[in-house]
DNA sequence: CTAGCTTAAAGTCAAGCTGACTTTAAATAG
DNA sequence: CTATTTAAAGTCAGCTTGACTTTAAGCTAG
């Protein structure tokens, strides 16, 4: 099975895992799902949820399985996409372990302790892990930074922002997603003009949502457009 | 080393390779570097160049090494970036082999037969592999399609198009890259206005290039900008 | 020398989009 | 009824865009 390694050079078998960056917006802040490590290495440090890819399992299936195990939610209800692979030789002290990172985006989710996996999983604001205040196990800090940059960029060119909103949602809900992920304030009026003009981004339900104060807001569901044209660029 | 597999389920060791999608523009057509397979499986079929990631080697280093072996060119002269990982259980009949695909872009390169690797490597137009006329080994057809879509998208938002041009180059050289990769004609005047206005995309050398006919064109080198703002969108 | 060809580069202009801002709408609380 | 709150629509100058025209600068044929 690995006969070619003789010709190609020293190649030992390796392990392949998937790691998940599950992002959500809670209380006007971007949160990531982390698990506390119960074993060495990095015992006690928070880490991204993940696990080995099993025999006969695709990468996407492994990511979906881990997602359901950690959140207790059906994976098809979240946006899930591959981020990239990481394989630095020293990234795991136990040996050569490659990981394929996935980015998952979802609306405010139930407290994840209901998951099958018994490890303590919790939502944490991403801030302290981005600015270096707090540490993550392995190279998960880098993976988190890459994932966030991907998410920020995706908001510009795609409709994934709606994946952060539980349906039905208002234009203001959607705007708050952009403001929290990009960490900039946006003009409500101009934002509305753009997202409602984009084809098949938002589908009006006809209903309205009434809060304790103010005019009721129209409610929408996600349209079937995947790309946003024209894009919604940050950095005026 | 793989002690955790008991708890996580059946996990056999796997092999990890890198595969390269090396693109260039020759004779007004987009070409990809392919090697003919000398062994089973898929003997005789063209495939993307690639090979096993060696012990102690990073993914990027493995990709750069394969690139130099196949093209005979110093990898730092080309644009090289990770595309994504592929790991379908059945993608290689020899066993569980994950591959991390890389996208490389470069100016018209010397005939790659000068490479260290003795396999027959050749530049092929991408067309027949995209529309299904010709087949590639393994899942390399899908990888090529993903790579091309990535390249097309990158041209919109980044300055990588200049990686296809040997320095120094003219605005018309750069425009031909866009036209070939996107497969659309562009207005020369409007194209010039945009790329010359973009900050740090093009650096004038002060020289001019004279062809057999027409006014001499100003020559440029690549600037240090990586992102294009505003972006250059296709699909008017 | 100059007319004519070729390609580069600059200019023109109406239409559309953007950002900053103002106005109107529709609900609740007191 | 009025103030308050949030939603949604409207205004407008300035910028960008796409389609197109004009000028520039080389060459070559006559």
- Residue whose pair of structure tokens reads 């872009």 in the numeric block: B105
User: What is the model's pLDDT at position B117?
Assistant: 53
Q: How far is the CA of B208 from the C1' of C1 (A)?
A: 27
Do A88 and A185 belong together in one domain?
no
Q: How far apart are CA B174 and CA B155, in angstroms?
A: 11
Dihedral class, residue B132 (left if φ above 0, else alpha if ψ from -120 to 50, else beta): left
What are the distances in angstroms from CA A47 to CA A142, A229, B166? 12, 36, 44
What would the mean pLDDT of B177-182 be, rounded to a whole number? 98
Contact A232, A178 (CB under 8 A): yes
Sign of the torsion formed by the C-alpha atoms of B178, B35, B128 and B132: negative
Return the CATH number at A210.
1.10.10.10
Task: Give B16's contacts in chain A (Cβ within 8 Å).
Answer: 14, 16, 87, 98
User: What is the model's pLDDT at position B116?
Assistant: 52
The SS3 assignment for A179 reads helix
Query: Which comes out higher in pLDDT, residue A110 or A129?
Result: A129
Contact B2 A12 (CB under 8 A): no
Q: Which of A2, A10, A51 is nearest residue B15 as measured by Cβ atoms?
A: A2
Q: How far apart are CA A75 and CA A62, in angstroms?
A: 11
Do B24 and B115 belong together in one domain?
yes
Q: How far apart are CA B154 and CA B156, in angstroms?
A: 5
pLDDT in tens, A32-83: 999 999 888 999 999 999 999 999 999 999 999 999 988 887 888 899 999 9
User: Which structure tokens are listed for A64?
Assistant: 């979906």
Q: Which domain holds residue A116?
A: 14-142
Residue A123 lies in a domain: yes
Predicted confidence (pLDDT) at residue A7 exceeds the cutoff of 50: no
Query: Which comes out higher in pLDDT, residue A133 or A121?
Result: A133
Do B80 and B178 belong together in one domain?
no
Task: Give A231's contacts in chain B (Cβ within 8 Å).
Answer: 231, 233
Local structure of residue A43 (DSSP, 8 states): T
Query: Quick check: A236 CB within 7 A of strand C?
Result: yes
Q: Exposure string (b/e) for B144-179, b if CB count within 10 Å is 16 or more?
A: bebbbebbeebbbbbbbbbbbbeebbbbebbbbbbe
User: What is the model's pLDDT at position B188?
Assistant: 97
DSSP labels, B124-159: EESHHHHTTSS--STTHHHHHHHHHHHHHHHHHHBS
Do A44 and A128 belong together in one domain?
yes
What are the distances in angstroms from CA A182 to CA A29, A157, A165, A175? 11, 13, 16, 11
Pick the last residue of a domain from B82, B116, B142. Answer: B142
- The protein footprint on chain C, as nucleotides within 7 A of a CB, is 5-11, 17-22, 25-29
Q: How far is the CA of B45 from the C1' of D18 (A)?
A: 45
Pick the last residue of a domain from B90, B112, B142. Answer: B142
Q: How far is the CA of B105 from the C1' of C11 (A)?
A: 35
What would the mean pLDDT of B34-44 be, rounded to a whole number? 92
Residue A235 lies in a domain: no
Query: Which comes out higher in pLDDT, residue A98 or B113?
Result: A98
Do B131 and B79 belong together in one domain?
yes
Residue B179 lies in a domain: yes
Do A77 and A172 belong together in one domain?
no
pLDDT in tens, A191-224: 999 999 999 999 999 999 998 889 999 999 999 9
Predicted confidence (pLDDT) at residue B118 exceeds the cutoff of 70: no
Do B76 and B181 belong together in one domain?
no
Pick the last residue of a domain from B87, B110, B142. Answer: B142
- Residue whose pair of structure tokens reads 């198009």 in the numeric block: B161
């Amino acid at each position: 099975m690995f006969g070619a390694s003789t010709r190609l050079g020293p190649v030992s078998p390796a392990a392949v895992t998937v790691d998940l960056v599950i992002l959500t917006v809670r209380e006007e802040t971007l949160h990531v799902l982390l698990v506390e490590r119960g074993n060495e290495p990095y015992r006690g440090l928070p880490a991204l949820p993940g696990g080995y890819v099993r025999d006969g399992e695709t990468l996407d299936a492994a990511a979906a399985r881990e997602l359901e195990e950690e959140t207790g939610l059906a994976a098809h209800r979240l946006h899930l996409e591959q981020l990239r692979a990481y394989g630095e030789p020293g990234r795991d002290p136990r040996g050569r372990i490659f990981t394929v990172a996935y980015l998952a985006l979802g609306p405010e989710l139930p407290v994840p302790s209901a998951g099958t996996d018994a490890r303590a999983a919790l939502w944490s604001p991403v801030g302290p892990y981005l600015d270096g205040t707090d540490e993550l196990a392995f190279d998960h800090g880098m993976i988190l930074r890459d994932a966030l940059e991907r998410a920020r960029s995706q908001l510009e060119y795609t409709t994934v922002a709606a994946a952060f909103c539980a349906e039905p949602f208002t234009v203001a809900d959607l705007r708050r997603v952009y403001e929290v992920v990009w960490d900039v304030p946006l003009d409500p009026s101009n934002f509305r003009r753009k997202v409602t003009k984009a084809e098949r981004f938002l589908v009006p339900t006809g209903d309205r949502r009434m809060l304790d104060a103010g005019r009721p807001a129209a409610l929408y569901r996600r349209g079937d457009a995947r790309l946003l044209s024209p894009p919604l660029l940050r950095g005026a």
